[in-house]
Amino acid sequence: MELKSDLFGTVCRVERRVGSDVSLLVERDARRSRWWLRALAYRLARREAQALQALHAVPGVPTFHDFSAGVLRRGWIEDFPCSLHARATCASLVLPSGCCGACTARA
């Protein structure tokens, strides 16, 4: 399921099946970026991969799975989509990490 598409590529939620186990992943595909931004998109994806690897023991940070050929795969974290709630309801939501910042970004 595609979550986002922009100049830097696409972000999708995918299922990975290993035997009977199913895990949800987020896949950032820099190969689908605009040709004139592709080098930057690859670099940003590589930096995200490095950050995820460095923060592997921090609670609330997605699990790094792999990064190859411009595709970054990380774990899916089930939560409330911040982009859907309004500023008025932000304070009443109980999010694991507190306010997502989406309400202040729109102000």
The full 3-state SS of 36-92, as one line of letters, equals HHHHHHHHHHHHHHHHHHHCCCCCCCCCEEEEECCEEEEECCCCCCHHHCCHHHHCC
The residues of the chain scoring below 70 in pLDDT are 80-107
Amino acid, res. 102? A
Q: What is the pTM for the complete model shown?
A: 0.72
Handedness of CA 42, 48, 52, 55 (dihedral sign): positive
Judged by DSSP in three states, 33 sits in: coil
- What integer pLDDT is reported at residue 60 of this predicted model? 85
- What integer pLDDT is reported at residue 105 of this predicted model? 46
- What integer pLDDT is reported at residue 101 of this predicted model? 53
